[in-house]
Amino acid sequence: MDVVQPNDLEQAFCVARRRHAELCRQNQIFNARNRILGGDTKTWDIQVCDRKIKEATEKARHETFAAELRHNDKMMCILENRERRGRRHLCKALHDFQQSFQKPELRREFDLSDPLARRREFPARQGDNDARNTVSGMQRFMGEDLNFHARQRFQQEQNREWFLQQQRERKKARADQKRAEDLYTEARLQFDQTAQDLQHRERATRRAVSAAVKQFNKTQASELAERKSLEKKQEQEDDLAHISNLLRGDLLSEDPQQAVSSFGPHRVVPDRWKGMSQAQLGHIRLVQQQQMQEKLRLQEEERQRDADWDRQRVERARAEVLCERQQRRQQRDLRRALDGSNRSLAAEQLRQRNYMKEVCTNHATDDYFTQFNTRSR
């Protein structure tokens, strides 16, 4: 059963409080309606009825509250009993845990104050598999264990059982080998007899099959000869009928009308057409001659047009060459004029540089300074 939490009780209390507030609001509405209606008899009857209804509602509400209170009291009792039972179980579990896992003899320092420590001690050697018998203790050596004699007797018994078991297995193997050889010999004899019977049956079957094949071949040869004669006769009759049809038909008569198609006079049936007539061939040759002349005329016009284009292209190239030569001549004249002006400027700059060098290198003498000294002495 789930434990009721305090939040659940608080939520139930809030629901009950909201329900009580709703009932109080309905009571106020009933009182206001009674004040509005006044002293009418019918109205009073209605008020009495409403009063009874209100009393019944109040009674039902009180009963609901009482039932809810009883339910809450019962829940509180159950919760108290559950809490008391849980505490008792917890104390019991704690006591059991202490009795099981926290005994005095399980403490770390119990061996220091144990009164029965000497009585519980083991002797120096309890057995061959004692964990206290370490190598440094030298309590057990090879062949000096306590079970040496019993182990020796067990080994002797085991060796005797192994020897007897090997003898039984050897006898059984010999018996099995002899039985297998007997079965193999019997099976070989049976297989040989069966092979002989099958060989006799195969020979008889082959003889019967050979006879049946020979008879079938004779029948097939006779049927083939008869069928070939009938086919040859039918082929000769078909050839004669075909020759007569060709001689009497329109195919070898070369009638041009039999090749005319039903789709128009300009179309023919390919398997009946024997070729064109001389008039048709002459018309075709005439049309071909006209087409050849027209093609030659077009080629001549194209040649004249190409020649005109070539002449115009050559003239345009010649004009471009002359214009380029004129530009080069003008550029050469301009370059010569520019070179002349550059040479004149270079000579002028050279004269100025020489003059400045001469002025700067001449040292002033006393006579040079005396000409400026005009003060009276």
Would you say residue 143 has pLDDT above 80? no
Would you say residue 355 has pLDDT above 90? no
81-126: per-residue pLDDT in tens? Answer: 999 999 999 999 998 988 888 887 777 777 787 777 777 776 666 6
Query: What single-letter amino acid sits at 324?
Result: E
Separation CA 319–CA 308 (nearest Å): 17
Regarding whether 193 and 237 lie in a shared domain, the answer is yes
Most confident of the following: 128-132, 236-240, 365-369: 236-240
Could you tell me if residue 291 is inside a domain? no
For residue 77, give its domain range.
46-84
Buried b (16+ CB within 10 A) or exposed e, 250-261: eeeeeeeeebbe
DSSP 192-221: HHHHHHHHHHHHHHHHHHHHHHHHHHHHHH
Query: What single-letter amino acid sits at 242?
Result: H
Could you tell me if residue 219 is inside a domain? yes
Contact present, 25 and 54 (Cβ < 8 Å): no
Regarding whether 243 and 176 lie in a shared domain, the answer is yes
Q: Which of 240, 237, 241, 217 is nearest to 229 (CA)?
A: 237
Regarding whether 242 and 210 lie in a shared domain, the answer is yes
Residue 325 tokens read as 């030569």
Separation CA 255–CA 268 (nearest Å): 13
Q: Which of 33-47, 234-248, 331-345 has the lowest mean pLDDT?
A: 33-47
Regarding whether 51 and 33 lie in a shared domain, the answer is no
Could you tell me if residue 151 is inside a domain? no
Could you tell me if residue 58 is inside a domain? yes
- pLDDT value of residue 377: 46
Residue after which a domain boundary falls, among 197, 215, 248? 248
Could you tell me if residue 109 is inside a domain? no
Question: What's the distance, Cα to Cα, between the start and end of the chain in Å?
Answer: 146
Contact present, 145 and 128 (Cβ < 8 Å): yes
Regarding whether 24 and 80 lie in a shared domain, the answer is no
- pLDDT value of residue 3: 46
Residue after which a domain boundary falls, among 224, 248, 272? 248
Regarding whether 177 and 244 lie in a shared domain, the answer is yes
Q: Which of 250, 251, 268 is nearest to 259 (CA)?
A: 268
- pLDDT value of residue 2: 45
The DSSP symbol for 277 reads -
Would you say residue 166 has pLDDT above 90? yes
Could you tell me if residue 75 is inside a domain? yes
Q: Predicted confidence band at 373 (pLDDT cuts at 50, 70, 90)? A: low
Would you say residue 39 has pLDDT above 50? no
Can you tell me the mean pLDDT for 314-333? 90
Q: How many CB atoms lie within 10 A of CB 130?
A: 15
Separation CA 305–CA 100 (nearest Å): 128
Q: Predicted confidence band at 293 (pLDDT cuts at 50, 70, 90)? A: very high
Separation CA 191–CA 102 (nearest Å): 86
State the total domains in the chain. Answer: 3
Residue after which a domain boundary falls, among 232, 248, 264? 248
Q: How many CA atoms lie within 13 A of 359 on its CB side?
A: 6
Could you tell me if residue 15 is inside a domain? yes
Residues paired with residue 268 on neighbouring β-strands, in sequence order = 260
Could you tell me if residue 220 is inside a domain? yes
